[in-house]
Amino acid sequence: MKKWSHHIQFYTVGWFFAAIFFYIVRQVGVKGVAGLNITFQHFLLFLPFFAIIPGIIFGSLQYFFEQQFHRKLALPMHLLRMLVAQLVAISLFSFIFTVVMYEGDFRDLLFSKSIFVFNFYIFLINLLLALLVEIINLIGRGNFLKLITGRFFSPKEEYRIFLFIDLKSSTAIAEKLGHIAYSQFMQDCYRDLDIVGNFNTEIYQYVGDEVVFTWDKKKVKSLKTCIDAFWAYSHKLRSKGKYYQEKYGVQPEFKAGMSMGMVTVVEIGDFKKEIAYHGDTLNTTSRVVDLCNQFGEKLLITRRVYDDLPKDDSTYTYEKTTEIQLRGSSGLTEIFSVHENVVALN
């Protein structure tokens, strides 16, 4: 009954705003404005202008506000500030549009009902797009497309790469900072993960102080890209060492384990949907990252990953660390460490 009630509330609110929009368009905007004549030919001619220019303007505003304010403001305030800026941009956009297309007295258009509808429509579209962007960020770009297309409604197999990263000395840091400060500390660490977006990765899960990355093997030209993602994140944390030391008195450092293999992918959940991966590959990767402390290494990979890596690249050095039977595994697994070369660091 509670879930049914939530559906009723959601659709009631949605149809409330839909009815308002329908009334405005039907009763106010239907007549248009004398002097503003847009034929079908004009529409086709100006279609790139209607799409590309607003895309550049409002997309840039979205990006700017995400970079400048998203980390400092809660989502409602972030959206409010962004939408106020969009209203200013809409006014400018409307002015340019009417100067180009309007043939009558500009004052007639300025105070007409139709220009209100025009601006309201742009504002509504931008609001919906901004909310959609936040939803995509919440779910994950890759997962969003998979969910809306129903690609994994039935279980399927994929050959995927997994990289688990885990905060070193997490217990000691948590005891030092306390629960609230530690949560803020992890929040900052996870925000700096934006750099891994340059390596076409998907963030599968946040599990406490651990993050799970994944790649579709078919879409990765070189496994070195996946290793680059981890070291790029490590470098970013190191470059922000002053910030972390001044705010928390701690320099964050992550260890990582990497493996790959066949997994089952399926859409799960009804009350809350998500894409889930099942298989021994995830268990193996989890065990590998746990070995980092034992052997004093920052990044460990399995033999399967090592065999697929380019050996003619001078960025990294690979060394066999151990051959061990991982918990839950029937055979021995060869483990290799990955070190950055001094030349690569310079």
Question: How confident is residue 312, by pLDDT bands cut at 50, 70 and 90?
Answer: confident
Question: How confident is residue 197, by pLDDT bands cut at 50, 70 and 90?
Answer: confident
Q: Given the DSSP bridges, would you call strands 210-216 and 156-167 parallel, antiparallel or unpaired?
A: antiparallel
Q: Given the DSSP bridges, would you call strands 254-268 and 299-302 parallel, antiparallel or unpaired?
A: parallel
The pLDDT tens digits of the residues spanning 214-250 come to: 999 988 888 899 999 999 999 999 999 999 999 999 9
Are 151 and 205 in contact by the 8 Å Cβ rule? The answer is no
The pLDDT tens digits of the residues spanning 77-110 come to: 656 666 666 666 666 666 666 666 555 555 565 6
Per mean pLDDT, which of 105-119, 130-144, 298-312, 325-339 is the most reliable? 298-312
What are the residues facing 299 on neighbouring strands?
256
Residue 35 pLDDT > 70: no
Residue 24 pLDDT > 70: no
CA 107 to chain centre: 44
Question: How confident is residue 191, by pLDDT bands cut at 50, 70 and 90?
Answer: confident
Task: Give this prediction's pTM.
Answer: 0.73
pLDDT number for residue 302? 93
Question: How confident is residue 346, by pLDDT bands cut at 50, 70 and 90?
Answer: very low
- Three-state SS for 140-207 is CHHHHHHHHHCCCCCCEEEEEEEEEEEECCHHHHHHHHCHHHHHHHHHHHHHHHHHHHHHCCEEEEEE
Residue 15 pLDDT > 70: no
CB hemisphere CA count around 177 (13 angstroms): 23
d(CA 294, CA 292): 5
CB atoms within 10 A of CB 99: 9
Q: Average pLDDT of the chain?
A: 78
CB atoms within 10 A of CB 320: 11
DSSP character string of 43-80 = HHHHHHHHHHHHHHHHHHHHHHHHHHTTTTS-HHHHHH
Closest CA to 106 of 52, 179, 33, 54: 33
The amino acid occupying position 103 is E
The owner of tokens 């030209």 is: 221
